[in-house]
Amino acid sequence: MRYELYYWDGIPGRGEFVRLALEEAGADYVEVARLPVRKGGGTKALMHYMSDPAVKRPPFAPPYLKAGRLLIGQTANILLFLGPRLMLVPKNKRSRLWAHQLQLTIADLVAEAHDVHHPIASSLYYEEQKREAKRAAQIFREERIPKFLDYFERVLKTNRRGRGHLVGDSISYVDLSMFQLIGGLCYAFPRNMARHSRRYPRLIELCHMVEARPNIDAYLRSERRLQFNEDGIFRHYAELDG
């Protein structure tokens, strides 16, 4: 099956959590918004399933995935669907629920990371909410990052059977998403993350494990991989790094 991934062009964003799963599995997929318009791509194609009133069960926002006739929105929901198909989650129901629970927790932190630079409204520019962003960033750095990362570090520690993995005893989509999450936080808050890196040895080890996987390594070197930038979710503004 050829999957169609719909996400904004130019930013890794939430689309990256889905891309990493597709890339690790070597799945056949196209990024619709990155295709030329003459090949049915571009922003208009991206908007189609969200805005056409004839579409049943439309997604609210990208990313969304088209798999045959299925149209699936919400990052964690897409991964819930793809996990078993790409063999990126254990077979049993308990583990699948656990993986989904962790993915939703990752999504919470991703949303908070976004709200640091847009604490008042997504529709305003960062420059219009810089003062509030500075306040939000201090609390995010001092309270929220440690609370979430302590939790994920603990999950790694207690998963004794699968040393180095968040779920089960082999790579899952949650490991891949954690790699992206930690990478994003290190990009946005380099000083803060470097200062506390010794607190999260298992999470850092997990990131090295993920980036060394052959398919991920090839993907990271390819032009399909988009770099973090200041239009995305994880943005580096030195004044927010403390």
Ligand X SMILES: N[C@@H](CCC(=O)N[C@@H](CS)C(=O)NCC(=O)O)C(=O)O
* Footprint of ligand X (CB under 6 A): 13-14, 61-63, 74-75, 107
Q: What does R_g of the chain's alpha carbons equal in angstroms? A: 18
In angstroms, give the least distance from the CB of 194 to ligand X. 26
The H or E element containing residue 48 is helix 43-51
In angstroms, give the least distance from the CB of 74 to ligand X. 5
DSSP states along 194-237: HHHGGG-HHHHHHHHHHHTSHHHHHHHHSTTSPPP-TTSSS---
Burial grade of 48 (CB within 10 A; 0-12, 13-18, 19 or more): middle
Compare residues 114 and 202 and give the one whose CB is closer to ligand X.
114
Compare residues 6 and 219 and give the one whose CB is closer to ligand X.
6
Looking at this protein, which amino acid is placed at residue 157? K
Compare residues 89 and 153 and give the one whose CB is closer to ligand X.
89
Compare residues 105 and 159 and give the one whose CB is closer to ligand X.
105
First-last CA distance in the chain: 47
In angstroms, give the least distance from the CB of 15 to ligand X. 7
Compare residues 6 and 98 and give the one whose CB is closer to ligand X.
6
3-class secondary structure, 70: strand
Structure tokens at 42: 């571009």
Is the backbone peptide bond immediately before 63 cis, with ω within 30 degrees of 0? yes
In angstroms, give the least distance from the CB of 77 to ligand X. 8
Compare residues 63 and 90 and give the one whose CB is closer to ligand X.
63
In angstroms, give the least distance from the CB of 115 to ligand X. 11
Structure tokens at 27: 């799945």
In angstroms, give the least distance from the CB of 101 to ligand X. 15
